[in-house]
């Protein structure tokens, strides 16, 4: 469990700098340069992610059930993760209406992904991992909206064709992950 906790601290901590210490981040970027900052951030984030995956694998056999979710929560989780994948795709397809409307679809997608896993799984390990990501994503979304308002940032309206690309890319990625990759990478078939 210790490796998982350290990994979460490194990964979510490095992704929380803009939430809690944006001024400090700005001064480091000015001093180091943007590329060196990105390299350092990637190194810390990558190490955190490796520790999360490794720690999860070690702790999973020792997980203690806190509640027993009903079967239907897996299906609700599948729907929520479908929406999460579409939001993730909308982050990377420029000029789409989803990003124009929601502004920060990636952290909204993380929120749905984490909530889906919390609903469908009832161990303390799931609560720790996905609860941490849910709290982080909520804080990140609020901080990003406040930063947008403070900086007067606006988003172009987006085009339907670009939105369709985001939806199709997200849905296709979701299908591949749900019906093939999740079981191969995580060891669990999400829909049984």
Query: Do the Cβ atoms of 71 and 120 come closer than 8 Å?
Result: no
pLDDT value at 171 more than 80: yes
pTM beyond 0.75, yes or no: yes
Tokens of 9: 């601290």
* Sequence ranges of the domains in the chain: 1-62, 65-192
135-169 as b/e: b if 16+ CB within 10 A: ebbeebbebbeeeeeeeeeeeeebeeebbebbbeb
pLDDT value at 192 more than 80: no
> How many CA within 13 A on the CB side of residue 89?
20
Tokens of 103: 């502004």
Query: Do the Cβ atoms of 86 and 96 come closer than 8 Å?
Result: no
Average pLDDT over residues 101-106: 97
pLDDT value at 172 more than 80: yes
Average pLDDT over residues 131-151: 96
């Amino acid at each position: 469990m210790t490796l998982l906790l350290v990994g979460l601290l490194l990964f979510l901590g490095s992704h929380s700098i803009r939430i809690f210490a944006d001024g400090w981040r700005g001064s480091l970027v000015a001093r180091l340069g943007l590329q060196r900052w990105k390299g350092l951030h990637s190194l810390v984030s990558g190490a955190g992610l490796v520790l999360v995956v490794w720690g999860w694998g070690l702790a999973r056999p020792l997980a203690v059930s806190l509640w027993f979710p009903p079967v239907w929560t897996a299906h609700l989780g599948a729907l929520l993760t479908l929406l999460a994948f579409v939001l993730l795709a909308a982050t990377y397809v420029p000029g789409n209406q989803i990003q124009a409307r929601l502004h920060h679809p990636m952290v909204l997608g993380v929120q749905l992904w984490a909530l889906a896993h919390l609903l469908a799984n009832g161990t303390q390990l799931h609560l720790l991992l996905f609860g941490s990501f849910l709290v982080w994503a909520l804080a990140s979304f609020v901080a990003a909206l406040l930063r947008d308002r403070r900086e007067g940032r606006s988003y172009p309206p987006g085009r339907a064709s670009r939105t369709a690309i985001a939806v199709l890319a997200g849905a296709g990625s979701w299908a591949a992950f749900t019906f093939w990759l999740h079981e191969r990478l995580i060891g669990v078939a999400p829909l049984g």
